[in-house]
Chains A and B, each alone.
Chain A
Amino acid sequence: MTDTKETKETKAAKETKETLVVNPIDCTGHGVCAELLPELISADEWGYPIVDPRPVPPQLDREARRAVAACPALALKLMRR
């Protein structure tokens, strides 16, 4: 939950600067990531993930880590910029 007293600077400092990256060779299109993180990942018409290339917003950081851990093929990763 965001503290309403936070300034813009502290909010920016909290940006994770991590992005979700899928290794397209390891990915076999299970589709678990798109279910767990629909805000950042959607599935194409063949079941493969379309991943938002922008940095993960701080409020979704935990969900993103959950999606990374849930991938049965270990294809989804969080990478530092």
Chain B
Amino acid sequence: MSGTTAFWYASRATGIVALLLLTAVLVLGILVNRQGRLPGLPRFAVTSLHRNISLLAVAFVAVHVLTAVLDTYVSIPLVSAVVPFDSGYERLWLGLGAISFDLMLAMIITSLIRGRLNRILWRAIHLLAYLCWPVAFAHSIGSSKDLQHGWLLYLAVGCAVVVVAATGWRLAQVARQVPRAARVAAIFAKHSATNSTATDTQQTGNQQTGNQQTGNKRTGRPRETV
């Protein structure tokens, strides 16, 4: 097997893995936002997995791009990884790849400095995830003959179904949630009439009332009294 073919295989393989990882990242991001849990794992696992897998995904995308550039069968300049529609080969589909990579870089960089960034600005850029994924998906299907039939197609479509379902779920939750001005009235209605020591907690963020566990959630070592 010649060196160029190895690069080409590597590029296609890392591309597929990247797509899977990006799908996982998006779903985990929704889970973080909705304060969802992964069974058997602590809360910080969800946030950590989301961050770590996003870094892993970007690493795979970087290798995916590099191997494609290094492969000499087709000529893809390195700069076309970030500048869309610059390569001669498959201009449109690679251009979409570059766009989604740019968006990924924006999200990662702003997230790395999020302590110093304005919250609203960080959130606005982070929501570009919902643009980034479909563009990456279109790039995957359009630029790779592999994904256009067989089990790889099913895999790609499966990822799309998961993303659409998760996004739909998030939107539905948002639509169902009590608007801020009505939250106090809502929790009132729950407590004044029944006077029960109900365990429903009203969330101040995006959440609808859910069944929270009561009691002090002390985890790990007890607090040291000095």
A44 to B42 CA separation, bound complex (whole angstroms)? 17
Tell me whether A29 and B204 are in contact (CB under 8 A): yes
Q: Bin the interface of chain A by size.
A: 20 to 34
Shortest distance in angstroms between A67's beta carbon and chain B's nearest beta carbon?
A: 9
Tell me whether A46 and B212 are in contact (CB under 8 A): yes
Q: Bin the interface of chain B by size.
A: 20 to 34
Tell me whether B122 and A74 are in contact (CB under 8 A): yes
Total CB contacts across the A-B interface at under 8 A: 77
Shortest distance in angstroms between B217's beta carbon and chain A's nearest beta carbon?
A: 4
Tell me if B114 is interfacial: C-beta within 8 Å of chain A: yes
Q: Residues of A contacting B114 with CB < 8 Å?
A: 74
Tell me whether B48 and A70 are in contact (CB under 8 A): yes
B217 touches which of A25, A40, A47, A69 (Cβ 8 Å): A47
Q: Tell me whether A38 and B219 are in contact in the complex, defined as CB-CB below 8 angstroms, given that A46-B212, A74-B119 are known contacts.
A: yes
Tell me whether A35 and B224 are in contact (CB under 8 A): no
Q: Residues of A contacting B202 with CB < 8 Å?
A: 46
Q: Chain B binding site: helix, strand, loop or mixed by DSSP?
A: loop
Interface set, chain A 24-43, CB cutoff 8 A to B? 25-32, 34-36, 38-40, 42-43
Q: Chain A binding site: helix, strand, loop or mixed by DSSP?
A: loop
A47 touches which of B33, B47, B201, B218 (Cβ 8 Å): B201
The 10 closest A-B CB pairs, nearest first, are A28-B205, A38-B220, A43-B217, A46-B201, A32-B44, A35-B44, A32-B43, A35-B42, A31-B43, A72-B32
A-B contacts besides A34-B219, A72-B47, 20 pairs, CB < 8 Å: A27-B204, A28-B207, A29-B204, A30-B32, A30-B35, A31-B35, A32-B44, A34-B217, A35-B44, A36-B44, A38-B219, A38-B220, A38-B222, A39-B224, A42-B216, A42-B217, A43-B216, A43-B218, A46-B202, A68-B115
